[in-house]
Amino acid sequence: MAIFSAKNQYGFTLIEFLICSSIITFLIVGTAQMMSHSLLVKKRSECSIKSVELASAKLEYLKSLSYEDEKLNAGSVSEFVRTGDSENLFYREWRIQDVDADMKKIEIGCFHVNYPQKGTRLVLFLSGKLGF
């Protein structure tokens, strides 16, 4: 004599419900982690792109100056640059060296203050004889 028969069972058992809910929870948590990681990667790549833009803009500005301009004297300069909203703060520095009598080396570095490992470094050699 069986107390429970197959005809009287309707719905899920507790074990089936727990297995189903744990699988759904696992999928939801995995998706949430993937979304948060992709947002972090997106933010870092945007910072890298902006770092390249800031460094190349400064390099183009210095390249547009005449070779004898006092802003191209040997030395080192650094500045903080804020772009867009308040959380986008970049550190930009450049060094100018006289390599030869008619040759200057300009080295520019730029990085986001929160992601210093994702910086950009550009180097340009200017020639006084050639004019570029």
| Beta-carbon contacts of residue 50 (< 8 Å; ≥ 6 apart) | 83, 88, 90, 112
Q: Looking at the domain assignment, is residue 5 inside a domain?
A: no
Measured distance CA(3)–CA(100) in Å, rounded: 100
Cβ contact 64:86 at 8 Å: no
Q: What does the pLDDT look like over 92-102, one tens digit per residue?
A: 999 999 998 89
Q: Looking at the domain assignment, is residue 54 inside a domain?
A: yes
Q: Looking at the domain assignment, is residue 30 inside a domain?
A: no
Q: What is the CATH number of the domain that holds 88?
A: 3.30.1300
What are the beta bridge partners of residue 92?
A: 79, 110
Q: Looking at the domain assignment, is residue 25 inside a domain?
A: no
Q: Among 70, 50, 67, 46, which Cα is nearest to 58's?
A: 50
State which residues form the domain around 55. 48-127
Look up tokens 């429970």; give the residue. 4
Q: What's residue 131's pLDDT?
A: 76
Question: What is the dihedral angle through the alpha carbons of 106, 112, 116, 119, rounded to the nearest 10 degrees?
Answer: -40
Q: Looking at the domain assignment, is residue 10 inside a domain?
A: no
Measured distance CA(43)–CA(99) in Å, rounded: 38
Q: What does the pLDDT look like over 22-68, one tens digit per residue?
A: 999 999 999 999 999 999 999 889 889 999 999 999 999 999 999 89
Where is average pLDDT lowest: 3-17, 76-90, 91-105, 111-125?
A: 3-17
Q: Looking at the domain assignment, is residue 9 inside a domain?
A: no
Q: Looking at the domain assignment, is residue 108 inside a domain?
A: yes
Measured distance CA(93)–CA(61) in Å, rounded: 14
| Beta-carbon contacts of residue 77 (< 8 Å; ≥ 6 apart) | 93, 94, 95
Q: Looking at the domain assignment, is residue 21 inside a domain?
A: no
The domain total for the chain is 1
- Per-residue pLDDT band at 128 (split at 50, 70, 90): confident
Q: What's residue 129's pLDDT?
A: 87
- Phi and psi angles of residue 99, each rounded to the nearest 5 degrees, phi first: -80, -40
